[in-house]
Amino acid sequence: NAGVMQNPRHLVRRRGQEARLRCSPMKGHSHVYWYRQLPEEGLKFMVYLQKENIIDESGMPKERFSAEFPKEGPSILRIQQVVRGDSAAYFCASSEGQDPYEQYFGPGTRLTVT
Amino acid sequence: AQSVTQLDSQVPVFEEAPVELRCNYSSSVSVYLFWYVQYPNQGLQLLLKYLSGSTLVKGINGFEAEFNKSQTSFHLRKPSVHISDTAEYFCAVSGGTSYGKLTFGQGTILTVHP
């Protein structure tokens, strides 16, 4: 049973470009979470999605960031017009059900904005 | 709102010595508590979790943690550490209206010296 998959593992974007981060949850998991790890900070929750629904986006920046989890295919975290402050590690996690089920984390995508 | 405080940002220890990584949480509702480990450039792996029942929780790799409701603590312990335990450790909490969202502490870097 493959774990949570994220791609790309490393992504370099210039300021103003768009970044698309992909997350495939574990087989049988229908809940996906995105977290961001900024340098010198802990992991911060961004968004919680189920298939075709955003359940909680309280941690998402108000502008430039969006997330989706379509009926078919991976979950996508999209960052428009990236800035240097977006440089971070972005982790996706999935779970079989809702809290307090164990969340399984992917290896992360490390975004560098130049 | 929930919060987690990890009292030590770095803990150096010699191989085969015991270690305790401290975690305190704040929440107005019942919580579920987790400890995760992150090795360099990797995702997070669950060490152990407290959902209910016995306050002493045993996890993988010889780690254990004790839930203390009166002191709102969930300290992680291991009686004898190995070089391979060198990593960053995160305490996390979920529960109440968070619907699966994990709130993480700032992390503790455990360095095991030979």
Q: Express each pLDDT in A49-102 by its tens digit.
A: 999 899 999 999 999 999 999 999 999 999 999 999 999 999 999 998 765 668
Do the beta carbons of residue B53 and residue B29 sit within 8 Å? no
B90 vs A contacts (CB less than 8 Å): 42-43
Q: How many contacts (CB atoms, under 8 Å) link A and B? A: 70
Q: What is the pLDDT of residue B41?
A: 80
What are the CA-CA distances from residue A5 to residues A29, B35, B37, B63, B92 (Å)?
Answer: 12, 22, 18, 27, 22
Is the minimum CB–CB distance between B9 and chain A shorter than 8 Å? no
Give me B50's structure tokens: 């407290």
For A100, which residue in chain B has the nearest alpha carbon?
A: B100
Do the beta carbons of residue A26 and residue A104 sit within 8 Å? yes
Q: Do B90 and A35 make contact, defined as CB atoms within 8 angstroms?
A: no
Is the minimum CB–CB distance between B40 and chain A shorter than 8 Å? no
Q: What is the pLDDT of residue A18?
A: 98
Given a cut of 60, whether residue A111 has pLDDT beyond it is: yes
Instruction: Name the one residue in this structure whose structure tokens are 């428009």.
Output: A80
Question: Within its chain, how far is the Cα of B60 from the centroid?
Answer: 12
Given a cut of 60, whether residue B95 has pLDDT beyond it is: yes
Q: Do B49 and A107 make contact, defined as CB atoms within 8 angstroms?
A: no
